[in-house]
Copies of this chain bind each other. A is one copy, B any other.
Amino acid sequence: MANGHDAHLHHISQRFNAELKDLRDHVLVMGGMVEKQVAEAIDALVRLDAPLAEEVKANDRHVNRLETTIDEECTRVIAKRQPTAGDLRLVIAVTKMVNDLERIGDESKKIAKSTLQIIESGRLPEGAVEVRMIGEHVSRMLRQSLDAFTRFDINVAYEVIKEDRIVDSEYKTAMRSLVTAMMEDSRNISPILNIMWVLRALERVGDHARNICQHVIYMVHGKDVRHATVEQTEEIISGSR
Which positions in A face B, CB cutoff 8 Å? 61, 64-65, 67-68, 71-72, 75, 78-79, 82, 84-85, 88-89, 92, 95-96, 99, 179, 182-183, 186, 189-190, 193, 224, 226-227
Q: Give chain A's interface secondary structure class.
A: helix
- How many copies, total? 2
Residues of B near A85 (CB, < 8 A) are 79
Give min CB distance, A161 to chain B, whole Å. 16
Q: With contacts A75-B88, A75-B92, A79-B85 known, what are 16 further pairs, Cβ within 8 A?
A: A64-B226, A64-B227, A65-B227, A67-B226, A71-B224, A75-B89, A78-B78, A92-B95, A95-B96, A96-B99, A179-B189, A179-B193, A182-B189, A183-B186, A186-B186, A189-B189
- Report, nearest first, the 8 A-B pairs whose CB atoms are least far apart: A64-B227, A82-B82, A79-B84, A183-B186, A68-B224, A182-B189, A183-B189, A79-B88
How far, in whole Å, are A190 and B95 apart by their CA atoms in the complex? Answer: 39
A106 to B78: give the CA distance in the assembly, Å.
30
Least CB distance from A219 to B in Å reads: 12
A212 to B99, CA, bound (A): 14
Contacts of A84 in B (CB 8 A): 79
Q: How far is the CA of A186 from the CA of B186 in the complex (A)?
A: 7
Could you list 17 A-B pairs, sorted by A, with CB under 8 Å? Answer: A61-B227, A64-B226, A65-B227, A67-B226, A68-B224, A68-B226, A71-B224, A75-B88, A75-B92, A99-B99, A179-B190, A182-B182, A182-B186, A182-B189, A183-B186, A186-B186, A189-B189
